[in-house]
Structure 1
Amino acid sequence: MELKDFYYELPEELIAQDPLEDRASSRLMVLHRESGEIEHRHFRDIAEYLKSGDCLVLNDTKVIPARLIGEKVGTGAKIEVLLLTRKEDRTWETLVKPGRKCPIGTKISFGEGKLIGEIVGQTEDGNRFVRFSYEGVFEEILDELGQMPLPPYIHHQLKDKNRYQTVYAAHEGSAAAPTAGLHFTEALLKSLEEKGVIIVRITLHVGLGTFRPVKEQDILKHHMHEEFYVVSEEAAETVNRAKAAGGRIVCVGTTSCRTLESAANEDGTLRAESGYTKIFIYPGYRFRILDCLITNFHLPESTLVMLVSALAGREKILNAYREAVQERYRFFSFGDAMLIE
């Protein structure tokens, strides 16, 4: 499979720059993967497609204000640091711009010295390990100095940083939001529970893979980055019980999907565990746990377009995306949603 097989034309004006006032008012495309039939609805109608006994799996990660702007100690040069993965108490794997100005030993000052980062190592592909020194609580300092790390295709300033969090965000650690979950409101989740839909929470901290494009023409050569995930005993038992009873496992977002498939046994059951995943899902993959997926519309030639193509078929996905363009859907992080069932 080649990269160009996952390309589609997208007018730039369809890239959503701002979240809607009402989370659940975004549009919802329903793609029936067996027939290829498409319906056009609104996200608040999602309850009509979920049945009592279905299991809705949410990624409860919380985005941290992971973008830090500082000055190189000694020269005052502007340096941007994006926190990706916490390695030890004070050391993080990061993306540093411009990296060529920051060899090992470089010190960067943030907030006039309130936070100092020293580059202590680097990965094979150029990410930097930064050890921070500070007084007080790191999370409080980060909340004061850091910015929400919005994707590069969003050019507007976010007025309310909570709109880049799901309403159920709980565990801090992501460099990007699990954006399919942004459409849910507390009222909508409550109505689903009242209907008998089982809600399960797992955690995957979204990392560099969200920001890194596929560059290899042969997609099988693409290198996925590790992301940390947690599936609790309670979550695994609930998913397994729902599946055994005939309920469908409906993942909210590709991150929930990748977590479940990473912790899946060959027999289609889910195991409780935590660890790092590099799972790359593309056409030909056999899903072990997931039955349905709620997701946003993804970038052309991205690993996420490959994942949804693995679920619904490449031709059906590209046809759905062409129709979404024709119908003027809003794309990417703050855009509209798709249910693949």
Structure 2
Amino acid sequence: MITAFSVPADLSATEPPEARGVARDGVRLLVARERGPLRHTTFDALPSALRRGDLVVVNTSDTEPAAVDGQRADGTPVTVHVSGPAPDHLHVVELRTPDGHRVTDGVAGESIALPCGVVATLLTGHPDPHVATGSRLWRARIPVAGGLRSWLAEVGRPIRYPYLHRSWPLDAHRTVFARAEAEFGSAEMPSAGRPFTPAVLHALHAQGVDVARVVLHTGVSSPEAGETPLPERYRVPQETADAVNAARAAGGRVVAVGTTTTRALESVAAPDGHVRAGAGWTHLVLGPGRPARVVDGLVTGWHEPGASHLSLLEAVAGERLVSRAYAAALEQRYRWHEFGDSCLLLAAQSVHRPG
């Protein structure tokens, strides 16, 4: 996995592109093909990088207002990030300081006072329940009359990291595909889909590129370097499985929008690339030992050194192509993070076709 790079702080996107006068689909797009030169363009030109018969697959998970202010027993203010559900009516949470830095001294059994009289109790570390102090993530009990989501809608806000200079409304953290569902959605926006607009979707249709949908609800996106992805909830409907299989049979490419979509599709892909409908929790980790079987291309943002997402990118497009793309992105000063610029990685199709 490529790790030998660093991202200058001034390449962090500190606000949505609209705040600096750039449309959602006006962010920069780097098109990287296995064969051929790199292309620097803008996201509204994505359809021209694809061809008739390709299939774009997007994630429709909605973004929750998953950050809420609290107070520890000693009176210290803390921000609780609700990452998503855990078994037994519990939730996974992450503790942050008000200015966005990790809290490293949390203890099992600790209670945190939250708005409206709600109290969260840290039970065990997550994913290792044997960790009793200093865990990055915790399984916590958060009893709320009327349900956690309605409470968060009243008192919560989108998760924000220190590189963002101010808070932005929830709509800024939603994609055009987002669909609210009965279950808890994503703690953070599936951000690879953010630059899509109705105009881009219309242009894809005109190009003869279909769009299919999956759901993968993602937790907080702040793992330690080298940390493997945690289990996540997903759903691949039958119509999407049929669309993927039909596109492949006709010689089209399957282009996943984001690592979340890739993980969902690959979780239901047989060794020969045939996709079936499915739902549940995925434990799949893509990387050197498990390359992509069905995804030929990937629309993605830019990830930090050491992030497990980089292994997933390489599982789709190969280390050489990903390395070329990242070197060019740094040289050309692309913007990082959820409000940043984009990349389209297109692997050699033969890598993923059986036989």
TM-score higher than 0.5:
yes
Q: Name the residue aligned to 2:112.
A: 108
Alignment partner of 1:138 is 2:148: yes
Cα distance between partner residues in 2 of 1:196 and 1:52: 4
Cα distance between partner residues in 2 of 1:236 and 1:204: 15
Which residue among 181, 198, 215 is the counterpart of 1:186? 198
CA root-mean-square deviation = 2.2
Equivalent residues of 2:296, 2:317 under 8 A apart: no
Q: Name the residue aligned to 2:94.
A: 95
Cα distance between partner residues in 2 of 1:96 and 1:339: 34
Q: Name the residue aligned to 1:162.
A: 171
Gaps of 5+ in 2: 97-102, 347-355
Equivalent residues of 2:33, 2:321 under 8 A apart: no
Equivalent residues of 2:15, 2:164 under 8 A apart: no
Alignment partner of 1:245 is 2:250: yes
Q: Percent identity?
A: 31
Task: For residue 306 of structure 1, give the secondary structure of its aligned residue in structure 2.
Answer: helix
Gaps of 5+ in 1: 216-221
The TM-score, its normalising length taken from structure 2, stands at: 0.84
1:63 is displaced (CA, Å) by 1.4
Q: How does 1:1-341 map to 2 (within 5 A)?
A: 5-21=2-18, 22-35=23-36, 37-72=37-72, 75-87=74-86, 90-97=89-96, 98=103, 100-104=105-109, 106-113=110-117, 115-123=118-126, 124=128, 126=135, 127-150=137-160, 152-170=161-179, 171=181, 172-208=184-220, 210-215=221-226, 222-283=227-288, 285-341=290-346
Cα distance between partner residues in 1 of 2:290 and 2:144: 46
The alpha-carbon distance between structure 1 residues 119 and 329, as it changes in their structure 2 partners (threshold 3 A), is closer
Cα distance between partner residues in 1 of 2:87 and 2:305: 35
Cα distance between partner residues in 1 of 2:68 and 2:316: 37
Task: Report the residue type matching 1:241 in the other structure.
Answer: A
Cα distance between partner residues in 2 of 1:320 and 1:136: 47
Cα distance between partner residues in 1 of 2:224 and 2:315: 18
The alpha-carbon distance between structure 1 residues 272 and 100, as it changes in their structure 2 partners (threshold 3 A), is same
Equivalent residues of 2:83, 2:92 under 8 A apart: yes
Task: Report the residue type matching 1:135 in the other structure.
Answer: A
Cα distance between partner residues in 2 of 1:331 and 1:134: 36
Question: Cα deviation per residue 1:70-109 (whole Å; 9 max; x = unaligned)?
Answer: 123x5433233221221358521222354634432x3322
Q: Name the residue aligned to 1:219.
A: none
1:294 is displaced (CA, Å) by 0.9
Task: For residue 183 of structure 1, give the secondary structure of its aligned residue in structure 2.
Answer: coil
1:194 is displaced (CA, Å) by 3.7
Cα distance between partner residues in 1 of 2:144 and 2:229: 32
Task: Report the residue type matching 1:280 in the other structure.
Answer: V
Cα distance between partner residues in 2 of 1:135 and 1:283: 46
1:61 is displaced (CA, Å) by 0.9
1:284 is displaced (CA, Å) by 5.9
Instruction: Report which stretch shifted further, 244-253 or 307-316.
Output: 307-316
Equivalent residues of 1:70, 1:109 under 8 A apart: yes
